[in-house]
């Protein structure tokens, strides 16, 4: 087989494997390089961080622990008597591993079905669109391509006050592998990952304290939604400490002694486990030769244009290594776009319509602008909200926390932002994404017939509320 390809993709995460499959479907001879090795030390593992130690395993744990919490605390009010419910952590972890194995194996099957060549090893971009691959034994082989797509993903950020030890102080990956429920759990960072992982173990009985350096809770989220979410999380037992700058962490007698400073001064806390979830950084270690022609900024992000093209001819970069949110679905969309552009098409990714989700309970999801952003930009807008507490299906499902919020341009009525905190927010937000992709107005949603009884009726009511015409809540009085 020739070592020359039309496309070589470096990285088989959600961006890389999708780009490779799409490129091959478009008739391009494609190879995908991935260094991840299985527990046997030999086999290649596809799927990247998302499938192996990120999106999928965390959702598997969140789903199990949510059901456990419901069974333990909520079912009695519904007439279901389930006493002495127990969690088998080993079984839970075994199930999670099974799901991961099934999905990663599925990618290998998709590669085979679509004619993608999978190359096992660490890929490094050389000058002239050549890719050097080093296998697990240190042997190297060089491949050539007309186009190279860099999709090497990201890795957890480690902070000096709390270096990882893999046992007591762990990153997000280590937090997925606890063999027993920690009695006291500390989480550094109240972002998406910190809140999700904190929720997993809090539901199983951990006393969880989340320490966040910023004074504002979820500053990137619409603050009406963020405040509602924080209230629900604290009601569930999460102790969220804002404006707290961590100064040190030391393991003594199998306990993590944490020191931090907040508005009250120096503070100390002891935990059985400490999760550091302060964000992720691009994983470009050893991926680029100095003469590759690809340029990065001081944080390791690769410079690309709006279409993910680097400054090196025929070299593209997608996903977590480039600007924009570190989201699996964003990486996948960029992968498809780049593959199609290589094939001569002219697609674009609409970065204004990429949804964000926090898979806690209640879930938090949003797309578009927040009210705070629009105020800062001086835009005139109207807002419509509807609480799940007034939704019949939410009542029947015992999930009445949260609301739907729609923000529309005051002059054109075009939807500018769509925000949800509540049950199945991750699914409901797709309605906002579709509406915004088609340039819908709030009136368009208000004129749409929604099935009854459904959670989605809250979207209908929020859209009606934008114009002061909600049916099932009292509307705000219009200014005279």
The reply to whether 452 belongs to the active site is yes
**46 vs 312: CA distance, rounded Å:** 27
Closest by Cα among 350, 356, 332, 293 to 153: 332
Residue 293 tokens, joined: 């022609």
- List 120, 168, 329, 452, catalytic entry: 452
Q: Is the distance from CB of 451 to CB of 390 less than 8 angstroms?
A: no
Is 297 in contact with 260 (CB distance < 8 Å)? no
DSSP 119-148: EESEEEEETTTEEEEE-TTS-EEEEEEEEE
**Helix, strand, coil share of the chain (percent; to 5):** 35, 25, 40
Q: Please report, for residues 133, 145, 146, 147, the alpha-carbon distance to residue 313 in angstroms, rounded to integers and kept in the order given.
A: 20, 12, 9, 8
Angle between helices 328-342 and 16-25 (to 10 degrees): 30
Q: Give the C-alpha separation, 90 to 178, whole Å.
A: 9
CB atoms within 10 A of CB 377: 9
Q: Are the beta carbons of 218 and 364 closer than 8 angstroms?
A: yes
CA 408, 409, 415: angle at the middle one, nearest 5? 40
> d(Cα 340, Cα 346) in Å, to the nearest integer?
7
HSE toward the beta carbon, residue 161, CA cutoff 13 A: 16
Positions marked active-site: 452
């Amino acid at each position: 087989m020739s070592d020359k390809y039309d496309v070589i993709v470096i990285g088989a995460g959600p961006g890389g494997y999708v780009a490779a499959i799409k490129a091959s479907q478009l008739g391009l001879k494609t190879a995908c390089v991935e260094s991840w090795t299985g527990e046997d030390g030999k086999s290649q593992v596809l799927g990247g961080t998302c499938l192996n130690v990120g999106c999928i395993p965390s959702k598997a744990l969140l789903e199990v622990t949510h059901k456990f919490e419901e069974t333990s605390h909520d079912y009695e009010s519904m007439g279901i008597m389930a006493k002495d419910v127990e969690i088998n952590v080993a079984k839970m972890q075994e199930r999670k591993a099974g799901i991961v194995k099934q999905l990663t194996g599925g990618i290998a099957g998709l590669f085979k079905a679509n004619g993608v060549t999978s190359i096992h090893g660490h890929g490094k971009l050389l000058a002239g669109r050549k890719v050097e691959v080093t296998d697990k034994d240190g042997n190297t082989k060089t491949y050539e391509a007309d186009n190279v797509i860099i999709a090497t993903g990201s890795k957890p950020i480690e902070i000096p006050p709390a270096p990882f030890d893999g046992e007591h102080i762990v990153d997000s990956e280590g937090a997925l592998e606890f063999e027993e429920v920690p009695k006291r759990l500390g989480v550094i960072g109240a972002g998406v990952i910190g809140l999700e992982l904190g929720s997993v173990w809090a539901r199983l009985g951990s006393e969880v304290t989340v320490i966040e350096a910023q004074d504002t809770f979820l500053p990137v989220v619409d603050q009406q939604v963020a405040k509602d979410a924080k209230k629900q999380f604290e009601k569930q037992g999460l102790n969220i400490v804002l404006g707290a700058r961590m100064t040190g962490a030391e393991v003594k007698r199998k306990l993590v002694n944490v020191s931090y400073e907040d508005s009250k001064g120096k503070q100390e806390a002891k935990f059985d486990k400490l999760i550091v979830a302060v964000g992720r950084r691009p994983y470009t270690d050893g991926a680029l030769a100095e003469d590759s022609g690809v340029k990065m900024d001081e944080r390791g992000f690769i410079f690309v244009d709006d279409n993910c093209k680097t400054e090196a001819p025929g070299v593209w970069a997608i996903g977590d290594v480039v600007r924009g949110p570190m989201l699996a679905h964003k990486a996948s969309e960029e992968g498809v776009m780049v593959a199609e552009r290589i094939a001569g098409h002219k697609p674009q990714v609409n970065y204004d319509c990429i949804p964000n989700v926090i898979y806690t309970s209640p879930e938090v999801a949003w797309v578009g602008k927040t009210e705070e952003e629009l105020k800062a930009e001086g835009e005139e807008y109207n807002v419509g909200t509807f609480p799940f507490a007034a939704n019949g299906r939410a009542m029947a499902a015992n999930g009445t926390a949260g609301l739907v919020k729609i923000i529309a341009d005051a002059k054109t009525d075009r939807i500018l932002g769509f925000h949800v905190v509540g049950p199945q927010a991750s699914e409901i937000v797709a309605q906002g994404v579709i509406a915004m992709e088609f340039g819908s107005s709030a009136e368009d949603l208000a004129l749409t017939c929604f099935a009854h009884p459904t959670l989605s009726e809250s979207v209908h009511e929020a859209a009606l509320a934008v114009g002061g015409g909600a049916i099932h809540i009292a509307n705000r009085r219009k200014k005279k």
